[in-house]
Structure 1
């Protein structure tokens, strides 16, 4: 595979495209408006510049990546030579179905079509696609150019060679692909995240601690070790007998709500949506948001370097 097309130039689409460009692929980013593509171009340039500052890539590698990227509003032109196409458009099923119908007219008969969806099961996506055997989900995590995980979801019609090629492709751009053996809502990571978030907001609502304390309890505790050790392995090292007692003692008191926490619902009704509105649980201004995003990305880059060293030592 040489030619990659990303349809959708938002935060996820542009960062996914960047991952392929840095790894030497020919990448086309498609969107419906030039202004969307221009924003993506600026975003990718800034991301690559930060990677250079942190010593992750060199200036020549940055130049190579930028030269590998083509921006286009012409869908037919964008996909006609593509070997692998990733859909990263808004999570509206009708929009995705319309796109898939159009792709059938323009793409190569052996092109693989992937979706970056985190919302729809693949059986829903393929309902109106005539190329179901070449469809797969590749769920990247924001920021897609820095977070290694890609969840891969297939369905009963997906050819085994499509799965193998997809896994190989993700490995080639330095990702850590995880294949789901069965289709399930939320996949793996979002199910785990949602379980944690539900309990975090429950603790906040019950007044057990303030937001900063709850966030710190994760970043300085479980989150610190989760970067290198997953929950199953942690249980093994802690002792399954110990974790049996933990579950028996704590599980009965855990929150069991089956809908979004009341705090979130109330804030959404008030128009307090987080960084996008300037206030959520915490207050934000544009300068604070920019600083936090840059700090986050620098920390992710440093963490990525550490994990790469660990992997190179055969410890991962």
Structure 2
């Protein structure tokens, strides 16, 4: 039974995941080696009543944990170094999960002594709002581990989806990357500007996708229609395998989006931009919840 959860990394995702479990009365240890970030997080947590043990001592955070969730930077060498540290200090029955958004589990778990107890639990930012958590194990992963983690996540209000196969990017990021590739192609080709493309998604596609998935939408539209649409459009879509030019150029100039105050757009108040996103998500989730309740009442 999972009682004590160790979270490695107190960045945006690590802190949010630690909060999630603490809010549901689990014992949580949050490890952060960076002194500046450690103090910043400590200041935030001192204003709250959540029971999170914040520490810069690696072994203290993981030695007695039943579940460890790795949320360190998305760099393979950094992650592998953390796993090597874990190998010598964790208990034999401890489950190790990574919140990676891109790396396949097979790559992360290679030659680790706890590989059969390692899984992916991919949360989405903001982790306290987005219900989805993608999960995947290896062929040797006992089904009981995935079942136990899925039950834990559901208990914390999440919607776990267990993939049948380990693949880089999983489901959501592959779909998101495919859309971003075509969006950047349309932008770089001069078909439309960023605001026009965003409007098409937020005022059209996004509204449907918030309620129905692509296969449900295809069924609603008619598969005979989609057979024609895909046959005509697929040859016209971008098939680029490199980073889109606008993303590469902006990133090279340090224009990283909200966190730096500029990207495709200018942000005079980055905090307000993040808050607006959270507020919009809360309203959408409330609407989805209302829709579910109405459906249940009519059944």
Is the 1:138–1:152 contact (alpha carbons within 8 Å) kept by the matching residues of 2?
yes
Are 2:186 and 2:192, in contact at CA under 8 Å, matched by a contact in 1?
A: yes
Gap change, CA 1:45 and 1:208, over 3 Å in 2:
farther
Contact 1:3/1:26 (<8 A) preserved:
yes
User: What is the count of residue pairs matched by the alignment?
Assistant: 295
Residue matched to 1:20: 21
2:258 aligned counterpart, secondary structure: coil
Aligned-pair CA distance for 1:117 = 0.8
Q: Alignment partner of 1:20: what SS?
A: helix
TM alignment of 1:228-243, pairs within 5 A:
228-243=211-226
Aligned counterparts of 2:57 and 2:124: Cα–Cα separation in 1: 27
2:284 matches 1:303 = yes
For 1:301 and 1:69, locate their aligned partners in 2 and report how far apart those are by CA, in whole Å: 25
Larger RCO (CA under 8 A, 6+ residues apart): 1
Question: Which residue number corresponds to residue 153 of structure 2?
Answer: 170
Indicate conservation of the 8 Å contact 1:97/1:128, yes or no: no
Cα deviation for residue 38 of structure 1 reads 3.1
2:78 aligned partner: 95
The answer to which of 202-211 and 189-198 deviates more is 202-211
Match of 2:122, SS?
strand
Q: Unaligned 5+ residue runs, structure 1?
A: 47-61
Judge conservation of contact 1:14–1:43 (CA < 8 Å) in 2: no
Deviation at 1:121, TM superposition (A): 1.2
8 A contact 1:117–1:137 mirrored in 2: yes
SS of the equivalent of 2:259 reads coil
TM value normalised by structure 2 = 0.92
Judged with a 3 Å threshold, the aligned counterparts in structure 2 of structure 1 residues 269 and 37 are, in CA distance, closer, same or farther, namely closer
**In structure 1, what is the equivalent of residue 272 of structure 2?**
291
**Counterparts of 1:83 and 1:234 in 2: how far apart (Å)?**
41
Give distance in 2, aligned partners of 1:231 and 1:244: 14
Aligned partner of 1:227 in structure 2 is 210
C-alpha distance in 1 between matches for 2:203 and 2:72 = 35
User: Match of 2:200?
Assistant: 217
| Higher deviation after alignment, 185-194 or 198-207 | 198-207
CA distance in 1, matches of 2:77, 2:111: 10
* Preserved CA contact (<8 Å) 1:97 1:129: no
| 8 A contact 1:18–1:44 mirrored in 2 | no
Deviation of 1:257 (Å): 1.2
Q: CA deviation at 1:166?
A: 1.3
The 3-state SS of whatever aligns with 2:79 is helix
Aligned to 1:75: 58
Given that residues 102 and 173 in structure 2 are in contact (C-alpha distance below 8 angstroms), is that contact kept between their aligned partners in structure 1? Answer: no
Q: Which residue number corresponds to residue 152 of structure 1?
A: 135
Residues 235 and 243 in structure 1, CA contact (< 8 A), matched pair in contact too: yes
Match of 2:33 in 1: 32
Q: Distance in 1 between matches of 2:132 and 2:192?
A: 31
Residue aligning to 1:51: none
Q: Deviations over 1:205-256 (max 9, x none)?
A: 1222221111011011111121111111110111111111111222222112
Give the distance between the partners of 1:110 and 1:154, measured in 2 at CA. 16
Q: Which residue of 2 aligns with 1:254?
A: 237
| Cα contact 1:93–1:125 (8 A) shared by 2 | yes
Aligned to 2:107: 124
In 2, Cα distance between the equivalents of 1:267 and 1:35? 27
Give distance in 2, aligned partners of 1:23 and 1:303.
Answer: 23
* Counterpart-to-counterpart distance in 1, 2:283 and 2:204: 19
For the residue of structure 2 that corresponds to 1:157, the secondary structure is coil
Unaligned runs of 5+ residues in structure 2 are none
Contact 1:140-1:151 within 8 A present in 2 as well? yes
TM-score by length of structure 1 reads: 0.87
